[in-house]
Amino acid sequence: MLNIILVLLFILFFILMFFNYKYQKAQVELLEQNKKTLELSIKILELNIKKIKLLEKRIKEKQ
């Protein structure tokens, strides 16, 4: 009886480890997607800063 319980606990442990692995893998993928999104956002912000500087330069030239 004790052996059966130990075997079942062992199987349960591996099932939980498998789902934990899947969960962590999904978390890593989400983090990678977030990183790419942040990198794109930074590029957009940099382009917007350049655009603002050009607009400021044009305004100064008109004055």
Give the model confidence (pLDDT) of 2-15 as tens digits: 999 999 999 999 99
Task: At 46, list the tokens.
Answer: 């940099």
**Farthest CA pair distance, the chain:** 92
Task: At 49, list the tokens.
Answer: 């800063």
- Averaged pLDDT for residues 31-56: 98
Residue 63 has pLDDT above 90, yes or no: no
The whole-angstrom separation of Cα 45 and Cα 33 is: 18
pLDDT at residue 27 in the model: 99
